Chains A and B, each alone.
Chain A
Amino acid sequence: DAGVTQSPTHLIKTRGQQVTLRCSPKSGHDTVSWYQQALGQGPQFIFQYYEEEERQRGNFPDRFSGHQFPNYSSELNVNALLLGDSALYLCASSLGSASLSNYGYTFGSGTRLTVV
């Protein structure tokens, strides 16, 4: 049973460029959340997608946007990259109809984005 799959694993981009990160949730999960983890920090919530809509958003600028597809996979897009966007981007999947108390999240291994 495949867990959460993220691609690519590593990425180097130039300041000002745009990037798209991809996530396939664990089998049976229908909800995808994205987190940004800067070096030496804990993950910070970006947003969550459920039923192809953004259900909740953290304190991130509009440069960060996302999408969820009918097969529950998701993309995270970041426009006008800044040096400060360099981080590990983690995708987490869960069952949207259940509370976190019952199922919690399953995390992927992340995409390491470096902005130069």
Chain B
Amino acid sequence: AQKVTQAQTEISVVEKEDVTLDCVYETRDTTYYLFWYKQPPSGELVFLIRRNSFDEQNEISGRYSWNFQKSTSSFNFTITASQVVDSAVYFCALSLTSGTYKYIFGTGTRLKVLA
């Protein structure tokens, strides 16, 4: 069975601090995709990043960076110099490459950035 765990329920930081959101996943499949989505108060899920299981190269995009480690089944997400507008619920999701079209979401981490 597949599972995504986001152990951090809520994180509060002061503006300009760096913050890392943790994600641990479980799957027996060797090929899969991992995603991060942001859910602001308006409700829609906003796509942030997608990684496939063969691409462990970590990336930095502006204030965002990702750390994918297959050895520990982790896909962590870091926001550098956080801003109040980053306040939202962040979801990590897993999708397999065959036999299914669904995402398996974690329970989310609520990030509060205080001014």
Contacts and interface: CB of A to CB of B under 8 A. Distances in A.
Contacts of A100: 33, 95, 97, 101, 103
Interface of B: 4, 33, 35, 37, 42-47, 50, 52, 91, 93, 95, 97, 100-108
Given A42-B107, A108-B44, A101 B102 contact: no
Contacts of A45: 102-104
Nearest to B47: A104
A36 to B, nearest CB: 11
A4 B45 CA distance: 11
Interface residues of A, number: 29
Given A100-B33, A107-B44, A56 B103 contact: no
Nearest to A94: B101
Contacts of B101: 31, 33, 48, 55-56, 100
B107 A88 contact: no
A58 B43 contact: no
A23 interface: no
Contacts of B97: 99-101
Given A88-B43, A101-B97, A107-B45, A42 B52 contact: no
B4 to A, nearest CB: 8
11 contacts: A3-B44, A42-B93, A42-B105, A42-B108, A43-B103, A44-B105, A45-B103, A48-B101, A101-B50, A107-B44, A109-B42
